[in-house]
Chains A and B, each alone.
Chain A
Amino acid sequence: MNSNTPSSSAGGIGSADTTGARRNSKRPKYSRFTQQELPACKPILTPKWVISAFLLVSIVFIPIGVVSLYASRDVVEIVHRYDTDCIPADARNDKVGFIQSPRVKTCNRTLRVPKYMKKPIYIYYQLDNFYQNHRRYVKSRSDQQLRKTGSENDTSACKPEDNNGMTIVPCGLVAWSLFNDTYNFTRNNQLLAINKRGISWKSDRDHKFGKDVYPKNFQNSTLIGGAHLDPLKPLSEQEDLIVWMRTAALPTFRKLYGKIETDLQAGDFINVTLENNYNTYSFDGKKKLVLSTTSWLGGKNDFLGKAYLTVGGLCFFLATWRSIIFVMESESRSLNKLLTDILVNAFLGTT
């Protein structure tokens, strides 16, 4: 009765045979891509693989960390905050009033060189709590105007410092608020020469600030922001401005002021005569003078070295921990197997 029940197996074999021959004639050109059969490497996260990856990272990272830390340690840095100290004692209650008054703001400070400093020594001024990255501030400039004389009136972005009856060159808040403290250094009553050439980016001097663009009508309005510019010098030579116009991304930043091209010996005392003109008092900003050498990694900054050591250390810890567990597991597995074998043999008597 059941002999005729529809069954697929018999039919399957039959049809496969008859169609086998046709297979080649019909098939379109076979391609590994269309069939999703491109040769592929299929890594999976085996313990060995992961442990060696972490181990490798720690082996690479820890030396880099040590080297960076050393590089950072080799940098000698003198940081001197002067914003409060340079206000005469009688004016300390009203710092803003003092800084805005026409009083003489010269101030003398003495710095001690802690370690031998090899030339060139970079002089920076550091501002804290100064938002050069504020949207209103950072947009308030005209790159067109800075580059070409022809685009002098291209000041639409510069509001509110775009014109004061006449077009301002350079316009905008950034230029207007140019830092105007000045420093002079003497060592043993000898003037230390400050090289202020080449402190800005060469590309900026060549391409962003025109050789034939001269300051015009700058700091002429009632509200005076920062430094004045020499109207006879083209913008491409106003290196302080060029440095300042490279706005900082962080509210604490340093800008290059100049370079000292002589070595400083440990224990040297350096007298700084500075003009404390710039107003950071209304927003509780700090002003610092920084003298620093550099390493291949830049200035003094332990972060990178420490971070490398931390990551490397963690990776090393992880790798060791995992390998211990890995070894223990495989051993306990084989131990388990051994024990089971013994027990089975003991109870069942099989060999």
Chain B
Amino acid sequence: MGIDFELLHKIKGVIECPSPDKDIRRFDANLRLFPPFLDNDMCPLTIKNTLLQSCYLRNTEWACGVAVYTGNETKLGMSRGIAEPKLTAVDAMIDKLTGAIFVFQIVVVIVLGIAGNIWKNTEAKKQWYVEYPNESPWYELLIIPLRFELLCSIMIPISIKVSLDLVKSLYAKFIDWDDQMVDLETRIRSHATNTAISEDLGQVEYILTDKTGTLTENKMIFKRCCIRGTFYGNENGDALSDAELLNAVSTGSTDVIQFLKVMAICNTVVPIQSNTGVISYKAQSQDEEALVRAAASLHMVFVNKNGNVLEINFNGLLLRYEVLDILEFTSDRKRMSVVVKCCLSGKIYLLSKGADEAILPLARSGQQTRTFSEAVEQYAQLGLRTLCLASRELDDDEYREWSLMFKEANSKLVDREWRVAEVCQRLEHDFEILGVAAIEDRLQDGVPETISTLRKAGINFWMLTGDKQNTAIQIALSCNFVSPEPKGQLLLLSGKTEDEVCRSLERVLLTMRITNTEPKDVAFVVDGWALEIALKHYRKAFTELAILSRTAICCRVTPSQKAQLVELLKSCDYRTLAIGDGGNDVRMIQQADIGVGISGREGLQAARAADYSIGKFRFLTRLILVHGRYSYNRTAFLSQYSFYKSLLICFIQIFFSFISGVSGTSLFNSVSLMAYNVFYTSIPVLVSVLDKDLSENTVMQHPQILFYCQAGRLLNPSTFAGWFGRALFHAIVVFVITIHSFVFEKSEMEEVSMVALSGCIWLQAFVVALETNSFTILQHLAIWGNLVAFYAINLIVSAIPSSEMHTIMFRLCRQPLYWTTIILITMAGMGPVLALKYFRYTYRSSKINILQQAERLGGPILSLGNIESQSRSLEKDISPLSISQPKNRNPVYEPLLSDSPSATRRSIGPGTPFDFFQSQTRLSSTYMRNSKDN
């Protein structure tokens, strides 16, 4: 406004603004300054005049401003929202199991409490040496149950939470440290913001991905164009080197020059000239930058922007244009326009560019737009992004009249956006269509491979994009998202009205159900409009479709629709992963079970909101197959093991209560109990964070193995029952052997307690060793070092005269009886476990076992066909176990000692080696399950 610097502090005025809201795209306010500066002239303030909290101001050294909202009332503060804490499926399962154990504990306490009171009233009364008083108040009845409650409280391992937190943060660190997930171009490392949900990565079933910037590089390059019906760049695929176009530019073809002018002017790009004279462009939109660059290389160089005046250098000729108004791009309007005045001729032009459906219908009557729509069609087929360029010369009067309306609309407080759009509409008509520009957005490295690998791992992909349907489909084809005909089939779900959508939906569903029995890649394609209707009115049918379909392409969807789709899949009990790079993906990323952000060109917004940020889409394979899978396996073992060891010691206490008059005597002293949970048993198992059942290469080559994680095969009630059984069995072994070896004169309390405790320690060390798949030096240190530490600690405690167990450990260690008992406990406890594990390994070997075998015995990994035939020959001698029923996602019955179960098996023909997760069975079973739920 040209106010003097000294007068700045004297400005007085009023800002009328709406009450704080969380819409960061809108700020409809007015500024009114008091005299003497400007008389009551309303000055519209929009989001363009606004700086949001924690924004960076660029390209200027200073700015004057007024704080409008502060603190939590800022737009960012309002929209911050409380990020829902994410709970992994594994955690949910652990919680469930904890609940079950709690119920079991209560039952045990009640039963033992009643038994204890009965024993007390019958037997204990006769035992004079216990001196039970003859009469006691009623609440004495509660004492024995309470004692048992105290005794059984260790049944629920408290240490599990601590251990899990510890290992989870280590999983996250492994992701941060991973050298193979560093983007070498941008030097961005992968980062796990949320350290608590790594296990979920291994259980992902659906990946919802953004297209631009996620699958593609978001590096726009102007490739082709069609100017007035002439196609450029079709021969060599690059219009910039098309001799015909260069020729047209040098001969000064009006159409071409006009086209180039729109390319260079109709944008919000800021050129920055460095000292060496090289011009670089700063643009909010990658498309605009691509256009300006292309124009520059065609000798229409956008040199300078001085206030509102643009300088264009065309073949050495300096053209100046004054920008009068900018009609902003919005996702509803799908076009943007500028009104410029040529400084030479004084003529006013409206220059527009936008999506074909937003421009072509507005062509002046008489102009044929067919060539352009054909061009758009053709370019979209190639997966290029298209922009239609148009212009119109305006009368001075028309402009002046419109300008007033525009200003008025811009200073509206209510519905400003809508009003502005309406006013813009009034100017944007009768276009002279100049041509179509096609911009290529290259696929990122390794995207097709990533998608096909993860698809093999049984993960379903949905693409959610704001782009055109055709572009989306082309990208989908080029990155293995959908297979080309005849293998793949695309089902279009479209329609503008409820009826149309309904009919279309039914048709798609019908086809989907039929083709489910065929090994065919079926995907459905839906656009934002039909999606809106489907979600609103036919939610149930659409949900069914979502369950049936492994692949979907949703185009023209808004950020909130993306989030709704995530919500829909989550409501069907699927684990979803959303990956995106831009601000429009933030909601989807936050909504999904796992949000992955790509720290790309569209800034860090998505990466900040996400649980994991990676540099490139292809790192997703490693993130899921390596980190997710290992995390799941490790946590599954660690959590169940924690229950096992607590149950083991608790069962022994319960057994002991039967030979101690059900009085609630603790066999173990409190120090041992505490050290057992905190120390002896938690340290060896912590190193299971380094365990790898299969090498990374094997997993990458056979991604199907992820199925075990997805279906929760390693941690579910039946595997837990196995661990429960193991705890019971081991408790019986320890208890029975102890009380039969240390009998009569040796049945001294402290000694018996120490023998039982050492038995538990030895057993658990061997259990950890048996369940460990790969021993590094750290594992050996932790497992065997822990045993040594156990003896060292107990010997030290035994040396303290005032301790309860003074000299006990020295006495025991000198006795051959002690050592023979311990060896017996260990072997009697581990022998059956080893035998059962071995039998399952040979006769009911899971695919993990087969791969382990191949990996470790075969040197170079055998082809899977060989593995299959080998395993089948082993299967011959047992009863026919092949189950023809479809594989259920729900865990099935597992025998004792389950850790990597594969109770259902299907006989696999030689023709389909290793294809054990045939899509249709899985789908139909999940479908059946879900329809039941509904």
Contacts and interface: CB of A to CB of B under 8 A. Distances in A.
A296 to B, nearest CB: 6
A190 interface: no
Give the most central of A44, A53, A246: most B CB within 10 Å. Answer: A44
Contacts of A143: 804
B132 A61 contact: no
Interface in B800-845: 801-802, 804, 806-807, 811, 815-817, 820-821, 823-824, 827-828, 831, 834-835, 837-838, 841-842
B189 to A, nearest CB: 9
A310 B436 CA distance: 88
Contacts of A28: 179
Interface in A157-196: 160-161, 173, 176-177
Contact of B440 (A6, A45, A283): A6
B837 A45 contact: yes
Interface residues of B, number: 107
A69 to B, nearest CB: 12
A297 B129 contact: no
Contact of A314 (B131, B831, B855): B831
Contact of A248 (B131, B442, B749): B749
A107 B298 CA distance: 126
B147 interface: yes
Q: Is chain B's interface secondary structure helix, strand, loop, or mixed overall?
A: helix
B368 interface: no
Interface stretch (B106-114, B316-324, B660-668): B660-668
B857 A46 contact: yes
Interface string A299-328: 101011001100100110010000001000
A97 interface: no
B268 interface: no
B478 interface: yes
Interface stretch (A109-117, A228-236, A251-259): A251-259
B806 A64 contact: no
B328 interface: no
A35 interface: yes
Contact of B174 (A2, A11, A36, A134): A36
B665 A138 contact: yes
Interface string B686-723: 00001010000000000000000000000000000000
B739 A249 contact: yes
Given A26-B187, A250-B747, A41 B774 contact: yes
A307 B445 contact: no
A131 B127 contact: yes
Contacts of A42: 692, 773-775, 852, 855-856
Nearest to A279: B128
Given A45-B837, A301-B743, A5 B478 contact: yes
Interface string B178-201: 111010110100000000000000
Contacts of B856: 42, 44
A57 B132 CA distance: 50
Nearest to A246: B748
B80 interface: no
A351 interface: no
Given A307-B828, A314-B831, A131 B661 contact: yes
Contacts of A3: 237
B756 to A, nearest CB: 9
B744 A252 contact: yes
B773 A133 contact: no
A297 B820 contact: yes
A136 B132 contact: yes
A133 B660 contact: yes
Contacts of B185: 15, 18-19
A1 to B, nearest CB: 7
A134 B661 CA distance: 6
Contacts of A35: 177-180
Contact of B775 (A40, A136, A284): A40
Contact of A256 (B446, B745, B852): B745
User: Which 8 A-B residue pairs are closest in the complex by CB-CB distance?
Assistant: A34-B177, A19-B184, A177-B129, A40-B774, A4-B237, A249-B752, A38-B776, A135-B663
9 contacts: A5-B474, A42-B773, A64-B823, A135-B664, A208-B806, A226-B129, A282-B128, A303-B740, A307-B737
Interface of A: 1-8, 11-12, 15, 18-19, 22-23, 26-28, 30-31, 34-36, 38-47, 50, 53-54, 57, 61, 64, 68, 122, 124, 126, 130-138, 143, 160-161, 173, 176-177, 201, 203, 207-208, 225-226, 246-256, 279, 282-284, 290, 296-299, 301, 303-304, 307-308, 311, 314-315, 318, 325, 329, 333, 336
